[in-house]
Amino acid sequence: MTFSTARSAAAHQEAKAFFPGGVNSPVRAFKAVGGAPLFIAKGEGAWLTDEDGNRLVDYVLSWGPLLAGHAHPSIVKAITETAALGTSFGAPTTREAQLAIRVQRVFPSMKKLRFVSSGTEATAAALRVARGFTGRERVVKFEGCYHGAQDALLVRAGSGVETLGLPDSPGVPKALAALTTVLPFNDIPALRAFFRSEQGRETACAIIEPVVGNMGLLNPKQGFLEALREETKAAGALLIFDEVMTGFRVARGGVQEKFGIEPDLTCLGKVIGGGLPVGAYGGRADAMGQVAPDGPIYQAGTLSGNPLAMAAGIAMLDLVLTPGFIEGIERSTADLCARLAEVCAKAKVPAQVNQAGSMFTVFFTGEQVFDYASAKTSDTERFKRVHRALLERGVYLPPSQFESAFMSSTHGKAELDHTVQAFSEALRVG
């Protein structure tokens, strides 16, 4: 069957009349891989069906949220039943505490937390809490890390900013950007030198993707996160783990569980909403105790704690808390990564397959990828060709070399065999 995208292309033309690039989030535009983005008609388990009827194994999974695959019966049931009782009240419901209990079982460092409607809101709120709690204004981020589309952190960020080659975003006030220090990821001497400097002692917080998904998947070097925890503590700066992507994926309890490091604040998103809009920030009770209405630091949201989103999150976390659920996905991710590395080696294609839990990236480079500079050695032209060849063979990878791919509990033997076969062929033509 030929791979037609005529209906997606027509839908894209129509969408361009409404939205910049015809999309509601830049990474969806396929700018880095060319061609019109596929317009999706439905998802079921690990599979997408696009408007042209093409069926593809999905490794984007809505950029991480769908740990249980598309339209999981228990999540759909929870949303459907809750919707019949009303979709939003702007008043507290018991579902919020029901989700919070589950979050704290997985992230015990979040002594107090608040739900918001996106990861961006969560990281923006966490930054404000850190600045309000410490009385300091400077913040630290790491090169290539992405924490959502917010002014203070759209400085040498990853994800779509990197994909589109935008050094930083216009519209961010210079005065604000000047309060953001960018350090190199995985560079221990640089972080020690900064936090022991005068500026370091005036820093409110360091925010980091402790395992990076937004440069593609990068793991921290031995001792890097430990050094960051030590130096921020000594400098009186809060350590914020942005686990919007890594939460429930690098391990059930995220990077903080895997490495045994307790951040002062944690940001969550994606998986926590089971595919509906939920973010969360939280951590130390003394810092969160400063958040309105208990304290003066203001943060609010009309749809925060939305009952539908809470119901989907509760159903999702009940699956996450099922013994063996996370471990099964991690095993199939490791299996796939090993097979993809083998296929690249057999094809004599220089590649690094980086994995952490249920996240992975195939970098087309012969160099180990552990920071922004090494990620940038990847052959993005080869990635573009392979991505297109995979689409034609029914495999949907994130449309950027600088994004992580994701697995779900519904990616079984059939999906992995299909993927490995398609990858092997794509490398020959790509």
User: Catalytic annotation on 270?
Assistant: yes
Q: What are phi and psi of 213, to 5 degrees?
A: -105, -20
User: Catalytic annotation on 242?
Assistant: yes
Nearer to ligand KE4, 43 or 148 (CB): 148
Nearer to ligand KE4, 82 or 123 (CB): 123
- Output the six-digit token pair for 63: 């950029």
Nearer to ligand KE4, 132 or 213 (CB): 213
- Output the smallest distance, CB 146 to ligand KE4, in A: 5
Angle at 107 between CA 310 and CA 115, to 5 degrees: 35
Distance CA 258, CA 376 (A): 27
- Output the smallest distance, CB 225 to ligand KE4, in A: 15
- Output the smallest distance, CB 175 to ligand KE4, in A: 23
Q: Which of 58, 141, 264, 270 is the catalytic position?
A: 270
- Output the smallest distance, CB 55 to ligand KE4, in A: 23
Distance CA 383, CA 390 (A): 10
Distance CA 297, CA 295 (A): 6
CA-based nearest residue to 148, from 244, 283, 44: 244
User: Catalytic annotation on 281?
Assistant: no
Q: Are 227 and 259 within 8 A, CB to CB?
A: no
- Output the smallest distance, CB 119 to ligand KE4, in A: 2
Indicate the residue whose CB is closest to ligand KE4. 119
Element (DSSP H or E) covering residue 307: helix 307-320
Locate tokens 């704290």: which residue?
104
Distance CA 213, CA 13 (A): 30
Total residue count of the chain as it appears in this document: 430
- Output the six-digit token pair for 165: 């080659």
- Output the six-digit token pair for 221: 């070097």
Nearer to ligand KE4, 94 or 302 (CB): 302
Q: Are 336 and 395 within 8 A, CB to CB?
A: no
- Output the smallest distance, CB 24 to ligand KE4, in A: 8
What is the C-alpha radius of gyration for the chain, rounded to an integer number of angstroms? 21
Q: Are 86 and 298 within 8 A, CB to CB?
A: no
Neighbours of 324 (CB within 10 A): 9
- Output the smallest distance, CB 148 to ligand KE4, in A: 3
CA-based nearest residue to 267, from 113, 425, 135, 415: 113
CA-based nearest residue to 150, from 248, 55, 269, 38: 269
- Output the smallest distance, CB 403 to ligand KE4, in A: 5
Q: Which of 50, 58, 141, 242 is the catalytic position?
A: 242
Q: Which of 58, 59, 146, 264 is the catalytic position?
A: 146
What is the β-pairing status of strands 395-396 and 55-58? Answer: parallel
Locate tokens 């019109």: which residue?
36
Locate tokens 């203070």: which residue?
152
Residues that bind ligand KE4 (CB under 6 A): 25, 27, 63, 118-120, 123, 146-148, 159-160, 209, 213-214, 242, 244-245, 269, 279, 403
Q: What is the DSSP string of 140-192?
A: EEETT----S-GGG-BS--HHHHHTT-SB-TTS-HHHHTTEEEE-TT-HHHHH
- The residues annotated with a catalytic role in the active site are 146, 242, 270
